[in-house]
Amino acid sequence: MPQRNSYFCCPNTIMARQLQIREALREAMSEEMRKDSNILLMGEEVAEYNGAYKVSQGMLDEFGEKRVIDTPIAELGFAGIATGAAMNGLKPIVEFMTFNFSLVAIDQVINAAAKMNSMSGGQFTCPMVFRGPTGSAGQLGAQHSQAFENWFANTPGLKVAVLSNSYNAKGLLKSAIIDPDPVIFMESEQMYGLKHEVPEEEYYIPLGQANIQKSGTDVTLVSFGKMMRVAEEAVKVLAEKGIEVELIDLQSVRPIDYDTVAASIRKTNRCVVLEEAWPLASISSEISYMMSQMVFDHLDAPIKRVTTKDTPLPYAATLVEAWLPNVKSVVDAVDAVMYR
């Protein structure tokens, strides 16, 4: 069953504290590492420097250099070492300083970790997590600003989760760490310092389960990751216009919780999908196709999607702003399905 939150709140009755996303991620890793000595963290600057984004701050002191491991700037090498370690009973968490750098290691991720269980006839599994930031983070240029969710989601054998707040950062990462399959865990450089409510008690969020962030009756808005912040602002603007949006956070883009999206469309009869990615072969393309198969007769308007512009990201700040989806583009898309 999908989670159902009150208006932009976490689905839990006990909310004792606010944690930054980096703190929630650290807490998830540390809790699981205390339970299982086979879990380790490796990546560039994760140990002595406490992490490029301070996600792993203090973990070297607690777990030691055999379980929190600084690697050379060699993503192909340490992704391969981690994959081999996972095949032999360890449970590595691999941090990429950015998923843009994962392209150097993508052969190990796609051709080794993702396929090992199938190619070995179940003799080898790869219980491991590849985590780090995806998408744009300001004026970082075209080579450091790509969204990779749909790239990895296209690969059988991988699971792909995308956080949008501190609550699901912790719950999804804990589920990813204990999953028997390799999991791609997507974060955002621009979100590590954001604070959200996280309960004191332990919890897990199942991979492949969407969250109904806000109930509504007029239109379904589907998003995930950093774009949930844009979606939330658009929902507020639309509410002032009398349009009640049902906002869904996918949380995982492989597997995708199609049933929750379909059930929402049966209620609202309209749908907009928002993501930070190029439009061709995107998650929004997949959602649009699947909903056309599952709930076509319930749609009162064609599904609209809001994506980045179909170009490499420019460097100039004004062009970055024009390239990314924004509140106005979401509101315009909702208006188009409401008043066509």
The answer for residues whose C-beta is within 8 angstroms of residue 189's C-beta and 6 or more apart is 53, 98, 133, 137
Question: Residue 207 in contact with residue 252, Cβ under 8 Å?
Answer: yes
Handedness of CA 45, 51, 57, 63 (dihedral sign): negative
Known catalytic residue at 144: yes
The amino acid at 118: S
Active-site pick, 27, 44, 75, 232:
75
Cα–Cα dist 148/253, whole Å: 11
Known catalytic residue at 75: yes
255 prior amide bond cis, ω within 30: yes
Token look-up 């396929």 returns: 115
As beta bridge partners, residue 214 has 247
Active-site pick, 32, 144, 196, 246:
144
- Within a 13 Å sphere around the CA of 5, how many CA atoms are in the beta-carbon half? 20
Instruction: Report CA 172 to chain centroid distance, whole Å.
Output: 9
Residue 189, CA distances (Å) to 30, 89, 213 in order: 21, 31, 23
User: Three-state SS string across 145-196, please?
Assistant: CCCCHHHHHCCCCCEEEECCCHHHHHHHHHHHHHCCCCEEEEECCCCCCCEE
Question: Residue 183 in contact with residue 161, Cβ under 8 Å?
Answer: yes
**Coil/strand/helix, residue 296:** helix
Closest alpha carbon to 249 in 268, 238, 264: 264
Please give the positions annotated as active site: 75, 144
